[in-house]
Structure 1
Amino acid sequence: MRLIRHLSPLEQIPGIPLQAEQVRTLLSAAEYRQALMNAIAQARHRIYLCSLYLQNDEAGAQVMAALYAAKARRPAIDIVVLVDWHRAQRGLIGEARVPGKVAGNAAWYQELSRLQAEQIPVYGVPVQTRELFGVLHLKGFVIDDTVIYSGASINNVYLHQQDKYRHDRYLLIDNAMLATTMVNFIRRHLLSASAVHRLDKPDISPTGNLRHEIREFRAQLKKARYQFDAGYSESQSGLSVTPLVGVGKNNPLNRVICQLFAVSRHQITICTPYFNFPLAVTREINRALKRGVRVDIIVGDKTANDFFIDPAQPFKVISALPYLYEMNLRRFVKVHQADIVREQLGVHLWCEGENTYHLKGIWADQRYALMTGNNLNPRAFRLDLENALLIRDPALELQQQWSAELSSIRQHTKTILHYREIQEIGDYPEQVRRLLARLSTIRLDRLAYRVL
């Protein structure tokens, strides 16, 4: 590719041309569920679902039933489901495992396979030898020529199947080149790997027997890229989308995230569910503030964190995580109190009843938007296999959609004007205080920030 020197690094990245009418932004989990189910029901050629997990609950069962129905209608249709290898073979956090028995969602996939005449392959993708050190965090469903992109996995709360929902972002793009690019990546780099195995079949190999294959697989993933034919030229200055992927330190996706902050001159909006920026992101935010860029950060309140447990309920160690993130946020706001007073920095906490917050993404200077499952935390930057869609909109053709989405998100936010509005450790429940003090003493809180 010939680089054009007067263009910014982001403008030199090849993109797939888009028309504004090909892009649709949804604003709710219920709307997303309906769009997904409609797309599966109307599918004619291919359905590729890639998710951290597909849960054995009402929403998961509805999706699997729709996939089997699609296969029955059109036996030649190409249907593939990919989930994280480790996450699929364990129960929910805190759930005891029965020795010698297939655990978690994998047992359910196998039961469905035994009961159904048609086959829906469910592949487990092991990004690392242990879940703690890396998972499949690729996002994006491809149904025929439509990409349905969200940070959401498949279960009751993500799809708002019952009373509660986990709010995410939801984007539909009707574009054959983008859809085929994402399917080709799955085929070339995931399905062909010796470390990737079906979970809907019995006799699953123990992870310990696959350690060599998994290490080789991770090494190959570090070199994997989305490939498409559209090049970049000076005349290609319209609406476009670029799929990005990365795993490990200093990967291409991480670099583009930092470039988004670096090229901004007017305004940046960031969504993240867990306030725990990597050092590289914190540096770029600080530099942007020094340049005079307006920065808005929308983060979930600790009570909107998916790990939060009401203090009246039995205590679990994992429930201390939202408090760790809040401590981080309080320190950040205290350091940047002057920027808040100057109205150059806005920090907004999302909270809406008992619902939870899972939004990720970046908007920069009304020209760029990043749709991603990347949590913008050290784990995402170092451990997990992540992807994203970078949208460039020089003619502001999608501004109405972007503004509507941000207005919908901000509807349930509270703006922090002073760091003292955020609780400190002395305000936390006693068991949380004791645990956080113990972690801090042995510096395990730093490890938690890196891997959770």
Structure 2
Amino acid sequence: MMIWVSILALLIIVVVAYCIVDFKMGKRRFHHNSSFRDYSKRKGDIHLITHGKDLFSFLLTDIKNAQSSIHILFYIVKDDQFSKNFLKLLIQKAKQGIEVRLLLDWLGSHNTPKSLITELRNAGGQVAYSNRLKFPYPFFSLQQRNHRKISIIDGKVAYVGGYNVGKEYIDEDSVLSPWRDYHLRIFGESVHDLQNEFCVNWNQSSKNTVSISEKYFSGPATGNMDHQFFPTEGLRLEHTICELIESAKESICIGTPYFVPSKIILAKLNDALKRGVKIRIIVPKKADHILVKEASFFYFRILIELGAEVYQYLNGFYHAKIIIVDEEVCQIGTANFDRRSIYLNLEINCYIYDHDFIQSMIKVVEKDILDSHRLSLEELNNTKYATKLKELGAKLVADLL
């Protein structure tokens, strides 16, 4: 019996050691080969959407009215009736001769109905899977996901934000509903940037590459709202967040479903609190993944003790991703405030500099805070034993959360 226990223990050690080496070498190789696109400040019209039913009402209508091209990237498309209806609409448009390209994350969308994917391809649409399992570093490749959600219709209107495709995102999940998230509908110059970013991701994932031609950039350059897109791929996001925090003179508001900052970002938040910056953080009370809620408690204790305010959202599941600094810049996009988004995933954020938009966004955030419970240091210091065990486990795998 002891021999078998020893063999099992040795196997576990070998597997863990292999994963660690695979992850570090895979990450190093990716960083060495990475290239990035830098987009300038643009002008356009940006419309905030905070409810899934509203988002898909707009998006599905735009898809139905598409005249030339439909380019869509989602991290997750589920296997439920809503997702099936979404795919059937794409099939219908492909049959009409509209150019349809659907890019899905290989792991995030592994449950997407294969029969409908086949039907979409047979109708003339194209489907590709991003970030497939790759050798020689399979463990690293499984961890790095394409977490972006980008849609561009006819090169004229674009969408980016936190929503995926599934019934929970339209408040039809009994556990997580209502789903609270932020998504942007965009007209103007930056639609070109999102189209370009989609094409880059598509060409990385599909043998049927697409030339980035003028026909995909047909939208008028209308609107006066200053904004800028910033794509990241496991690099640069930490530096950008630190710059935002360092620039703060009065206030920082952070909304995120998962709060697992890097050591450098945590230190910058501490410095901001010490120089008198007011920091408010909104996270969900409910958790949709194991350990992620408890992973944040260590950081919350440090920040609350220095004066930060932490709010747990009570009215459903909070999945929004936002940073507002001094009412001067607002970041909304796909990146969570966690190490997975900072160090691993493909993400894209929009930096908005328009005063009126930021003021309206502050009102949305204030409403979310009213729907939240302010977490106290006493609560965090008196958690249950099971919670303490989860918190300890979360520390061990923090870089993967």
Fold-level similarity (TM above 0.5): yes
1:404 and 1:40 mapped to 2: Cα distance?
A: 30
2:146 and 2:361 mapped to 1: Cα distance?
A: 28
Write the mapping of 1:151-170 to structure 2, written as runs, cut at 5 A: 151-161=162-172, 164-170=177-183
Shift of the 337–274 alpha-carbon distance from structure 1 to 2, 3 Å rule, reads closer
| C-alpha contact (below 8 Å) 1:305/1:357 kept by paired residues | no
Listed one character per residue, the Cα deviations across residues 141-169 of structure 1 (whole Å, up to 9, x for unaligned) are 11231121221211110233465343211
Equivalent in the alignment of 2:384: 426
Of residues 363, 385, 403, the one that matches 2:346 is 385
Shift of the 165–69 alpha-carbon distance from structure 1 to 2, 3 Å rule, reads farther
Shift of the 261–376 alpha-carbon distance from structure 1 to 2, 3 Å rule, reads same
Give the aligned CA root-mean-square deviation in angstroms: 2.7
Equivalent in the alignment of 2:267: 283
Listed one character per residue, the Cα deviations across residues 248-273 of structure 1 (whole Å, up to 9, x for unaligned) are 3xx23332222111111111100111
Equivalent in the alignment of 1:413: 372
| C-alpha contact (below 8 Å) 2:50/2:182 kept by paired residues | yes
Shift of the 128–261 alpha-carbon distance from structure 1 to 2, 3 Å rule, reads farther
Of residues 101, 104, 119, the one that matches 1:80 is 101
Aligned residues: 342
**When the two structures are superposed, what TM-score results if normalisation uses the length of structure 2?**
0.77
Runs of 4+ in structure 1 displaced over 6 angstroms?
none
Structure with greater proportional helix content? 2
Write the mapping of 1:271-420 to structure 2, written as runs, cut at 5 A: 271-301=255-285, 304-307=286-289, 319=290, 321-322=291-292, 324-325=294-295, 328-329=296-297, 331-340=298-307, 345-352=308-315, 355-393=316-354, 396-416=355-375, 418-420=376-378
**When the two structures are superposed, what TM-score results if normalisation uses the length of structure 1?**
0.69
Equivalent in the alignment of 2:34: none
Of residues 94, 97, 101, the one that matches 1:71 is 94
2:196 and 2:324 mapped to 1: Cα distance?
A: 28
Listed one character per residue, the Cα deviations across residues 354-408 of structure 1 (whole Å, up to 9, x for unaligned) are x322111101111101112111211111111111111122xx2323421332133
2:347 and 2:367 mapped to 1: Cα distance?
A: 26
Kindly provide the amino acid, as one letter, of the partner of residue 136 in structure 1: N
2:396 and 2:125 mapped to 1: Cα distance?
A: 39
Q: Percent identity?
A: 19
Which segments of 5 or more consecutive residues in structure 1 lack a partner in the other structure? Answer: 1-11, 90-103, 199-227, 229-237, 308-318
1:149 and 1:270 mapped to 2: Cα distance?
A: 18
Cα displacement (A) at 1:336? 3.7
2:248 and 2:133 mapped to 1: Cα distance?
A: 35
Shift of the 44–410 alpha-carbon distance from structure 1 to 2, 3 Å rule, reads farther
1:323 and 1:241 mapped to 2: Cα distance?
A: 32
Q: SS state of the match for residue 87, structure 1? A: coil
1:33 and 1:13 mapped to 2: Cα distance?
A: 27
Equivalent in the alignment of 1:214: none
Deviates more, 1:265-274 or 1:397-406: 397-406
Which segments of 5 or more consecutive residues in structure 2 lack a partner in the other structure? Answer: 1-37, 209-216, 218-223
Equivalent in the alignment of 1:178: 190
1:364 and 1:135 mapped to 2: Cα distance?
A: 28
Equivalent in the alignment of 2:19: none
2:329 and 2:293 mapped to 1: Cα distance?
A: 32
Kindly provide the amino acid, as one letter, of the partner of residue 270 in structure 1: I
Cα displacement (A) at 1:278? 1.5
| C-alpha contact (below 8 Å) 1:267/1:295 kept by paired residues | yes
Cα displacement (A) at 1:134? 0.6
Equivalent in the alignment of 1:142: 152
| C-alpha contact (below 8 Å) 1:253/1:387 kept by paired residues | no
Q: SS state of the match for residue 365, structure 2? A: helix
Write the mapping of 1:227-266 to structure 2, written as runs, cut at 5 A: 239-248=225-234, 251-266=235-250
2:348 and 2:334 mapped to 1: Cα distance?
A: 7
Cα displacement (A) at 1:427? 4.9
Shift of the 146–79 alpha-carbon distance from structure 1 to 2, 3 Å rule, reads same
Write the mapping of 1:172-251 to structure 2, written as runs, cut at 5 A: 172-175=185-188, 177-187=189-199, 189-193=200-204, 195-196=205-206, 239-248=225-234, 251=235
Cα displacement (A) at 1:88? 3.2
